[in-house]
Amino acid sequence: MTLATLADVLQPALKQGYAVAGLVTLGWEEMRAYVAAAEAEGVPVILQAGPSCREHTPLPVLGKMFRHLAEGASVPVVAHLDHGYTMDDCREAIDCGFTSVMFDGSRKPIADNIAETRTIADLAHAAGVSCEGEIGFVGYSGGEGSAGTDPDDAARFATETGVDAMAISVGNVHLQQDKVGGLDIPRIRAIEAVTRVPLVIHGGSGVPVEQRRLLATGSNICKFNIGTELRMAFGHALREAVNRDTSRFDRVSILKETHDPVMDATRQVLRAFKGE
């Protein structure tokens, strides 16, 4: 069994100069493909259940799916709750066997964010589970704008919450479909100068691949969340499978054809984060 906590996989990444992918899941098909890709590349992987995933599949089911995949995997697999917005979200995930929870209080005043994140980190650690927090709101493509992380706030947040990983806002945006712009390197360096907590980039699909590679091996960013670009790979593969034979109606036979394309796309993502 290779079920791991977030701290289990991020601390070696921080020390040895590489990053781990937090892969956003929506269903069984991509979960399997993600783990197969991680095994093929010989790297750990973080399976993430975000709000849209949880709307579709209940947490107790997701916990069992993640743990089942981890038990058969040859690489470490983290079962991670992404964007838990309440204590109840995080507590339920812990009770359902998740090994890591992310509490997102980034929209709250900093004092409230720190206090609530601290409480959830304590709850998680008491259960042997890791906790990720977010300081500086990360916005959405075509929606809410990012706030940007103040380095002094990041230092305070890291010290006072005791989180195992800290998501920051440094030019990254959720749901971005193209890799344009890139991240604010001076802001990242300023945050690194005041804390050694592993840093997390949400909205990693919008970060140019070469910048991902450089930051994975040359910064304290130890986790990149990738969702949109792999959802696009899945959607493209599914559309091709359906259009290949429009008389088919068996979902299992259709969905099987998404596995290899999604696995191949995931392997490309994972290679950029290696310390090789």
* Alpha helices (H) along the chain: 6-16, 28-41, 51-56, 59-71, 87-95, 110-126, 151-161, 185-192, 209-218, 228-244, 251-256, 259-271
Provide the 3-class DSSP secondary structure of residue 134.
strand
Q: For residue 78, give the DSSP letter.
A: E
Burial 47-76 (b: 16+ CB within 10 A, else e): bbbbeebbeeeebeebbebbbebbeebebb
Q: How far is CA 39 from CA 32, 105, 117, 166, in A?
A: 11, 33, 33, 26
Active site residue 82: yes
Q: Which of 8, 82, 184, 250 is catalytic?
A: 82
Separation of alpha carbons 92 and 174, rounded Å:
25
Collect all residues with Cβ–Cβ distance below 8 Å to 192 and sequence separation of at least 6.
199, 219, 220
Q: Active-site residue numbers? A: 82
